[in-house]
Structure 1
Amino acid sequence: MDPMADLNAPHSMGTTIIGVTYNGGVVLGADSRTSTGFYVANRASDKITELTDNVYVCRSGSAADSQIVSDYVRYFLHQHTIQLGQPATVKVAANLIRLLSYNNKNMLQTGLIVGGWDKYEGGKIYGVPLGGTLIEQPFAIGGSGSSYLYGFFDQAWKEGMTRDEAEKLVVKAVSLAIARDGASGGVVRTVTINSEGVTRNFYPGDQLPIWHEELEPHNSLLDILNSSSPEPMNIQ
């Protein structure tokens, strides 16, 4: 089969997405690689999408499907907020995503993790896998990289983590999936949501931990070409 034929394939996110609750809020994390077959269409995409000021969603699967679901839910939640005069809860946002995913399960190829904080239930994480099932969980992992992380989370997860512990766990888990899963890669983005608001963090690929058998980063040809003062060439 001609590999170039894959350039016409739908953009999909062979992905690692994670949502973790901690004592006071939630931390969402994701890698940044978007692929079209064997071709990396975007190496720095943002897979954590804002639905409301206090609710975000991590997207995996078909990029187009996850984006259109997020757009619809964002619109519905905006209307909901105007009608009620207060922010929507995390449960309402997760149920809207569940409704759209389940009613269109024959056409959508996307798995989502909804996370946020509200004044009624605090920090909550909901998984909405392929097919539209809604599952409330203390932590959720999804995407192609998740298969490498179940044992890791069984060992590393604990109740009542601090914010710092939760964020370090998410970054460590995503970097581990990037090392093992060929469809995950790029940088790591996190979003922390609690009663004080939302904090986004960015971790470049060269600052992630190196795992077993991974190669140390080296200067690429692009680094040499972009150098401000390249060494002169001597011609004999």
Structure 2
Amino acid sequence: MEDLGLNAPHSMGTTIIGVTYKDGVILGADSRTSTGVYVANRASDKITQLTDNVYVCRSGSAADSQIVSDYVRYFLHQHTIQLGQPATVKVAANLVRLLSYGNKDMLQTGMIVGGWDKYEGGKIYGIPLGGTIIEQPFSIGGSGSSYLYGFLDQAWKDGMTKEEAEDLVKKAVSLAIARDGASGGVVRTVIINEEGVTRNFYPGDQLPLWHEELAPQDSLLDIWGTAASPEPMTTE
């Protein structure tokens, strides 16, 4: 029997993205989690809350990115209690960097930290495999990111409105889904600004189609569920 890698670690062959706009940041991600070539979860949430004002996009090993997020969330909670005010985006990103770099021989995860604070406004930090940290106006990661560098270099611009930035994030993730076999599912976005946090969800039929891509179709199970029950087959 062909080995489909069903016992392989859960891996988020992924597309994650964070962009700044004039009032804050927008994070986006696809939703496919795979185990070998088997899709273990087609609607996973790869954008995780660290504090009220800071979120992280996770790629790579699902277990590794989850444990790093859990530790950072715990440390930031303690930090907030001691300071009596929310942690800044820079503090959150540097905690992710410390854990990633200190355990780089054991972790297989790349992350993007984004958020808003009253000192520096909206900030995006890329923390790729190995634990370096890079402050960027936009950052991309995961297996689908290799299809997006040229697109984002051309499409991103300084001072975008919230609508322009979210449209760019949605377009970029849907393009990666079309080109990258390890990315798929729905698109989730998180908008973070002075007013708070807004989460949005875009199923496949609300995403733009790309060259040679087929329009979403109802599955046979959906069709059978809505159609009248067929007559049982009989043999003469």
Shorter-chain TM-score bucket reads: over 0.9
The amino acid of 2:228's aligned partner reads P
Structure 2 Cα separation of the partners of residues 219 and 44 of structure 1: 17
Partner of 1:8, secondary structure, is: coil
Partner of 2:146, secondary structure, is: helix
Instruction: Specify the alignment match of 1:64 in structure 2.
Output: 63
Within the alignment, does 1:203 sit opposite 2:221 as a pair?
no
Does structure 2 conserve the Cα–Cα contact (< 8 Å) formed by 1:54 and 1:118? yes
The amino acid of 1:109's aligned partner reads Q
Q: Deviations over 1:180-200 (max 9, x none)?
A: 000000000000000000000
The amino acid of 1:67's aligned partner reads Q
Q: Deviations over 1:93-112 (max 9, x none)?
A: 00000000000000000000
With the length of structure 2 as denominator, give the TM-score of the two structures.
0.96
Equivalent runs, 1:90-129 vs 2, <5 Å: 90-129=89-128
Structure 1 Cα separation of the partners of residues 2 and 230 of structure 2: 42
Does structure 1 conserve the Cα–Cα contact (< 8 Å) formed by 2:204 and 2:216? no
Instruction: Specify the alignment match of 1:27 in structure 2.
Output: 26
The amino acid of 2:181's aligned partner reads G
Structure 1 Cα separation of the partners of residues 184 and 173 of structure 2: 9
Structure 1 residues 216-225 or 63-72, which shifts more?
216-225
Shift of 1:172: 0.3
Instruction: Specify the alignment match of 1:159 in structure 2.
Output: 158
With the length of structure 1 as denominator, give the TM-score of the two structures.
0.96
Equivalent runs, 1:128-147 vs 2, <5 Å: 128-147=127-146
Structure 1 unaligned blocks of 5 or more: none
Instruction: Specify the alignment match of 2:192 in structure 1.
Output: 193
Q: Deviations over 1:42-90 (max 9, x none)?
A: 0000000000000000000000000000000000000000000000000
RMSD: 1.5
Structure 1 residue ranges (4+ consecutive) displaced by more than 6 angstroms after TM superposition: none
Structure 1 Cα separation of the partners of residues 93 and 230 of structure 2: 59
